[in-house]
């Protein structure tokens, strides 16, 4: 089995796939597909590089075939309503799917459209959100609903979706591809893990270079006419098959060509730099209670926005 990770001894120097990624991300014309440029380059450098182009197509086909029989049945996958899909993506930020389903169903029942959600009060939205944590998501959700109503329709381009409050690159790509079939690849923890293991890429995923590399590779793998299916397949494959701690390698359809499996680096990939900075802070709390007319009262103050544990 030919290994991507070991690279080639060609023209007297050592070539690895991640160095090839670096080269083409830096110099390729944006209008030329990565695989086309790499294929032409491979003919002059080494015939074995053609394997990369072939494996790229095989990877995409295999992931889509796996998805047809292993996809998770989720309620928001039964609709193409961008509002419902957007709502699911916001709820699932920092939330497990099983917990998120119940909240999504409650929100959809109470506020089935962006107009309904925008008309609610902030306190109503926060109360419905109670238990999910990270309350800034609920506030952003409410503000984004008001943006949608002001716009007159749900935004339908990647740039306009990204303008919604609380929507980043991943969420925008997910909504754009799933709701509107726009050919934009999603890149989240699942995608980083699957691609880094399969191709043996050890560029840290939380660096600028890593984000550019994996985004470009995911976009190259994306079939333009099946963006929705492929993005959801990558999410499910990482969540079910190629899991962080106990991946199901023996039953994996990519086992024959997975670099991490054959180089015994499953648990070393993906690589992430540890940049956590610990800062010590001290807080003073006042618990105020009083009795008035045989009733015990407790003083409550909502935390301001922009600070630790803030509800806003």
Question: Could you give the percent of the chain with pLDDT greater than 90?
Answer: 68
- Cβ(106)–Cβ(128) under 8 Å? yes
φ/ψ of residue 14, rounded to 5: -95, 130
Predicted pLDDT of residue 21:
54
Low-confidence ranges of the chain (pLDDT < 50): 1-16, 27-32, 39, 42-50, 311-312
Other Cβ atoms within 10 Å of 184 Cβ, number: 24
Predicted pLDDT of residue 286:
82
Predicted pLDDT of residue 10:
31
Predicted pLDDT of residue 57:
77
89 catalytically annotated: yes
Q: Is 299 exposed, middle or buried (0-12, 13-18, 19+ CB in 10 A)?
A: exposed
- Cβ(55)–Cβ(240) under 8 Å? no
Predicted pLDDT of residue 19:
54
Report yes or no on whether pTM surpasses 0.85.
Answer: no
Predicted pLDDT of residue 224:
93
Predicted pLDDT of residue 300:
80
- Cβ(238)–Cβ(189) under 8 Å? yes
Token pair 């991640």 is found at 18
- Cβ(193)–Cβ(270) under 8 Å? yes
Q: Is 286 exposed, middle or buried (0-12, 13-18, 19+ CB in 10 A)?
A: exposed
Predicted pLDDT of residue 312:
43
Predicted pLDDT of residue 164:
98
Catalytic pick among 58, 89, 256, 292: 89
Complete DSSP assignment for 86-137: HHHHHHTTTS-HHHHHHHHHHHHHH--SHHHHHHS-HHHHHHHHTTS--THH
């Amino acid at each position: 089995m030919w290994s991507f990770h070991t690279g080639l001894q060609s023209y007297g120097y050592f070539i690895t796939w991640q160095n090839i990624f670096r080269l083409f991300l830096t110099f390729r014309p944006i209008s030329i597909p990565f695989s086309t440029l790499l294929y032409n380059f491979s003919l002059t450098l080494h015939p074995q590089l053609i394997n990369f182009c072939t494996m790229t197509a095989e990877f995409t086909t295999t992931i889509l075939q796996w998805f047809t029989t292993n996809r998770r049945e989720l309620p928001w996958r039964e609709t193409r309503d961008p509002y419902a899909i957007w709502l699911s993506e916001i709820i699932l930020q920092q939330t497990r799917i099983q917990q998120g389903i119940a909240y999504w169903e409650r929100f959809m029942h109470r506020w089935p459209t962006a107009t309904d959600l925008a008309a609610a009060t902030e306190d109503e939205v926060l109360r419905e959100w109670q238990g999910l944590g990270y309350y800034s998501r609920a506030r952003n959700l409410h503000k984004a609903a008001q943006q949608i109503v002001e716009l007159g329709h749900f935004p339908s381009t990647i740039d306009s979706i990204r303008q919604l409050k609380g929507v980043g690159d991943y969420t925008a790509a997910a909504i754009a591809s799933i709701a509107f079939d726009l050919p934009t690849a999603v890149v989240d923890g699942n995608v980083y893990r699957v691609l880094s293991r399969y191709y043996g890429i050890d560029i840290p995923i939380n660096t600028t270079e890593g984000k550019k590399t994996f985004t470009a590779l995911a976009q190259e793998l994306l079939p333009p006419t099946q963006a929705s299916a492929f993005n959801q397949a990558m999410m499910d494959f990482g969540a079910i098959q190629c899991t962080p701690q106990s991946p199901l390698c023996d039953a994996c359809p990519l086992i024959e060509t997975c670099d991490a499996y054959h180089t015994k680096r499953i648990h070393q990939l993906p690589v992430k730099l540890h940049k956590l900075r610990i800062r010590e802070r001290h807080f003073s709390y006042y618990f105020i209670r009083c009795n008035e007319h045989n009733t015990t009262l407790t003083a409550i103050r909502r935390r301001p926005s922009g600070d630790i544990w803030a509800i806003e």
